[in-house]
Amino acid sequence: KDFLRRDVETIESFYRKNGFFDAHVKIASAKKSKDAKSVIVKLMVIEGPQTIVDRVTFHNNRLFSTSYLSKGLRLLRGRPYNPNLLEVDRYTIFSKYLEKGYLNASIRYKVTRDSTRVAISWYVDSGMPMVINNTYVSGNVGVKKKIIVRELTFKKGEVFNLKKVLASKQNLYDTGCFNSVEIEPESLDVKRRLVDLRVSVSER
């Protein structure tokens, strides 16, 4: 019975992830097969209405076009509404600002539901692009700091660029000297638009 309950919960969860929030699964019957080696289970599924994304709008998106911000989103017009994907989409939008140095960007959303239709409004406050100030290195023991710095594709005075950070991370891995590499903001000075970065490594 516990296995059946888990199966029922899994099926109901699948339906809800696809916009069927009133979906209900019942065990209609459960009986042994003729050879008594298995159990034949019949389930009754009551789907109910499906909730669909009807409209997605962006507000204050002066930096990027709506079509660009919409790329990669899971919740778009005509797709089933799954509230669990809102945070996924929020990060997808934020990452596009992050790529261009807008580390302090704020992305908020508002969901309006009308029966089986949902409207999602995204509100963007991009802030200002941050400029790289200091870069600190930690975790290195046998590898000199200058060797690590040599592999970094970004430098002081440049606008933060996520692609350069990721390329720098890959460069450090490619040296074969490190088990792990992390490059993250150490501190933000929003007023002066400065960001300090921390390169943390773990040597092999």
Residue 168: predicted pLDDT: 97
Query: What are the angstrom distances between the C-alpha of 144 and each of 65, 173, 201?
Result: 44, 15, 12
Q: How confident is the model at residue 65 (pLDDT cuts 50, 70, 90)?
A: very high
Which pTM was predicted?
A: 0.81
Contact between residue 160 and residue 152 where contact means Cβ atoms under 8 Å apart = no
Q: Looking at domain 52-125, which CATH architecture does it have?
A: Roll (3.10)
Ordered by start, the domain boundaries in the chain are: 2-46, 52-125, 131-203
- Domain 52-125 and domain 131-203, same fold? Reply is yes
Residues 3-7, mean pLDDT to the nearest whole number: 84
Reply yes or no on whether the pLDDT at 2 is more than 80: no
In the chain, the amino acid numbered 182 is E
Regarding predicted confidence, which is higher, 38 or 134?
134
Q: How confident is the model at residue 22 (pLDDT cuts 50, 70, 90)?
A: very high
Helix (H, G, I), strand (E, B) or coil at 132: strand
- For the domain with range 131-203, which CATH number is right: 1.10.287.950, 2.60.120.10, 3.50.50.60, 3.10.20.310? 3.10.20.310
Q: Which of 37-51, 146-160, 176-190 has the lowest mean pLDDT?
A: 37-51
Contacts of 122 (CB under 8 A, 6+ apart): 56, 57, 58, 59, 61, 69, 93, 107, 108, 109
Q: In this predicted model, what pLDDT tens digit does every residue of 122-180 receive, in sequence order?
A: 999 999 999 999 999 999 999 999 999 999 999 999 999 999 999 999 999 999 999 99
